[in-house]
Amino acid sequence: MENLIGSDDDNAEYEGDGESEEGNQEYEEDDESQESDPNFEEYDESENSDPEYEEDERQIEDEDHMDDIMDVDNNIQDVDVDMGDFTLNVESDVEGSCINVVHGHEPEDMEVINNEEFESLDEGSDQDRERRALIKNLRKEKRLRAQCRGVVPVTNKGQVGSQATTSKRKGKELKTQKVTCGWYIHASRSNPESDWFIRTLNQTHTCLQTRKLRACTASLISKKIFDQVEANPDIPLRAIQDHFQKTYQVGVSMDKVFRAKDKARKHVTGDYTKQYELLRDYVLELQATNPDTTVKIDVCSEPNPDSPTRQFRRIYVCLGPLKKGFKACLRDLLGFDGAFMKGPFPGQVLSAVGLDSNNGIYPLAYGIVESENTESWKWFLDNLGDDLDLGRNSNFTFISDRQKGLHTAVEQIFPNAEHRYCIRHIHDNMRKRWRQTEYRDHLWRCASATTIPEFEHLMKEFSQYDKEACEWLKQIPPKHWARSHFSGRAVSDVLISNMCEVFNGKIEKGRDKPVIGCLEFIREYLMKRICNVMKEMKKAKGPLTPTATDILAARKTVASQYIARWNGGDKYQVTGALQDQHVVDVRNKTCTCRKWELIGIPCRHAIATLNEMSKDPEAELDIYKWVHKVYFLETWKKAYSFKVEPIKGRSMWPKSECPTKLIPPPHRTQVGRPKKKRRQSEGERLSKKQKASQGDGVNAAQEGGSQKPTNDGVQKLSRKHISVTCSKCKNKGHNSRTCKGQGGNQSKK
């Protein structure tokens, strides 16, 4: 079990190895408006009604992420995990809430103000004080009579019980007859200490039903919609309003529905500030249920060592089952990336994601830091190196998006590591100056080359096409982005950090939750993903994983076009079309094309060699012996044999003995409306439709028009200096609506 260290140092940490960009601002709650009930009243009370606001809910939808460059050979195969049913109860009042929704029964009668609905009034409000005063006075009374004040308009004049009233409509006085409602109750008791006895009761209402109820407050509505918000946090406000109108025959304003949904959401996700106080308890529970889990908490420096609080700074989590499973994957490859938090407190979610035997993502570690800079990445990599036993001279392989802070941190922590750059991010930087697709094609061909002579030849072609662009690309060392300079230690020739993009897309809905809610959302996703992968394993047939089987089958098809010649030893000369000739070393399991060495699956030349060796009846041939064991189905199953264990509810979490209390990081209010969408690159903003319009604009510009750039970088055709043509007189300078025959005069001139 880990020890909670409440040290007085500048950077107090909660650490151990247990055995067992913009923020989204929360709306402040307004005082709840109360609506009076004219149909049920014993004393005359002032009627307070809310203005009915009609405001649509602002829903933000994530745009689809489309890469301009696709690595077909290394397509990330990931299973679909539905996180719609994700729930987290971290508040004691949520877990013990008295919300009883019995399906299949009639809803409660909202017309009668019972004790439960009275309790829904806000404490300290004017109506709450009036209610308490009313109940206090009723305790002294011995008799009680209440009647309904509702009235019904009638057409028969002179009816018994009717009252003549005068109203104005359009400046004219109208006399109408109204009948009072017959509902009333009469109760009495012998003394103030005894119970009430109902003497007379008429339960028949003859008045029109009202939709304005004083007791239908935002607190009551939040209790009624708790299950709906828990199942669908993005439920529209209009749907809640219509549900109450149809189910309970009650009309509520859109402003009240917004406050009710906000209260229900806070009950579901927990308070953003309070969860920092529970963070140490959550860590103890996580380590107790998942043995060998590493969790480290870093706090800001405190000048006063006697202060009872410490301000949260960072947290690092590496679950023990994932740590063991990653080592069983047999792939020394990790991708790094960060994604911003969407809550009121700024921060970044850092993640380290690997690849499994089926080329699917395998998340290893994650954490929440203050920002994505060199210091935070160094702290994250230090903890990751301790978990994987990586020394300073480790030759591990990393891939990232060339983030400046991460690049510096990797060079300082792991100077001998192979650090690859995502080719898509390199292309995003290139297209700021060179936007044509030809540059993208040249870049991809150079990066995909597996041998140095082929790489140099393609770079020469690129230089002949555009020397300036080629010189810009040469400034990036090819060992970071070209397959020809990669080693085969990672058993993967991946060029794009899609594994991180996939993971960030899966946890996108969890990044707007409080700190424990975000961490639990990630853990829930990882737990469910292992179950889904196990279902896919049951469908797999053969000794290899489905992805490796498809790659091997495709290479077998192409290998039939190659001819192998034996040299009498351990080497074969394999010749194909278009001067494709390489040497295969059977003993060392290598080929001069280096594709076999890079990914661990026999290339087309090796398979052609195997076909030639099959002519020898004494040769023991098994193509699966030439495949790296990382692609075997047994390796895949072993990696997912370590399960992420579930945890108990908050009321059963162990209590931390740390003397200091965690408080949230500083809250910086951003200018303008809070942003929830991530910043898109230049390539992502150009959709197919925009690209088509860009091409039309270029063609039109060549005909004499001009272009003007828009905010998203798309070149659109400007109407400036272009004369319109009249459809009537066929002359330029005016349109058909303003045509007054001037076209004829112009033609004569």
For residue 510, CA distances in Å to 340, 415, 518, 637, 674 come to: 11, 34, 5, 28, 17
pLDDT at residue 691 is higher than 70: no
Share of residues in the chain with pLDDT > 90 (%): 47
Mean pLDDT is highest, among 174-178, 185-189, 421-425, for: 421-425
The CA distance from 173 to 316, in Å, is 75
Instruction: Report the candidate in 388, 368, 389 with the shortest Cα–Cα distance to residue 379.
Output: 368
The model's pTM: 0.67
Beta bridge partners of 297: 14, 315
The letter for the amino acid at 53 is Y
Mean pLDDT is highest, among 168-177, 324-333, 681-690, for: 324-333
Beta bridge partners of 188: 143, 197
pLDDT the model gives residue 624: 93
Pairing relation of β-strands 418-421 and 397-400?
parallel
pLDDT the model gives residue 288: 96
Q: Sign of the CA dihedral 604, 608, 614, 620?
A: negative
Helix (H) / strand (E) element for 387: namely: helix 374-388
Q: For residues 740 and 176, which has the higher predicted lDDT (pLDDT)?
A: 740
Query: Contact, 423 vs 444, CB < 8 A?
Result: yes
Mean pLDDT of 521-538: 95
What separation, in Å, do the N-terminal and C-terminal C-alpha atoms of the chain show? 97
- CB contact burial 346-360 (16+ within 10 A = b; e otherwise): bbbbbbbbbbbbbbb
pLDDT the model gives residue 78: 66
Query: Contact, 696 vs 717, CB < 8 A?
Result: yes
Alpha helices in 53-101 (DSSP H): 92-95
pLDDT in tens, 350-371: 999 999 999 999 999 999 999 9
Query: Contact, 309 vs 662, CB < 8 A?
Result: yes
Query: Contact, 149 vs 38, CB < 8 A?
Result: yes
Query: Contact, 217 vs 257, CB < 8 A?
Result: no
Q: For residues 9 and 380, which has the higher predicted lDDT (pLDDT)?
A: 380
Residue 582 tokens read as 């390489």
pLDDT in tens, 610-657: 999 988 776 667 899 999 999 999 999 999 999 999 999 999 999 999
Residues 6+ apart with CB under 8 A from 653: 278, 281, 282, 284, 285
The CA distance from 512 to 344, in Å, is 9
Determine the distance from the C-alpha atom of residue 240 to the mean position of all C-alpha atoms in its chain, rounded to a whole number: 24
pLDDT in tens, 76-111: 666 666 555 444 443 333 333 333 333 333 333 323
The CA distance from 394 to 377, in Å, is 17
pLDDT at residue 722 is higher than 60: yes
Query: Contact, 653 vs 282, CB < 8 A?
Result: yes
pLDDT at residue 172 is higher than 70: no
pLDDT in tens, 463-474: 999 999 999 999
Q: For residues 311 and 143, which has the higher predicted lDDT (pLDDT)?
A: 311
pLDDT the model gives residue 621: 79
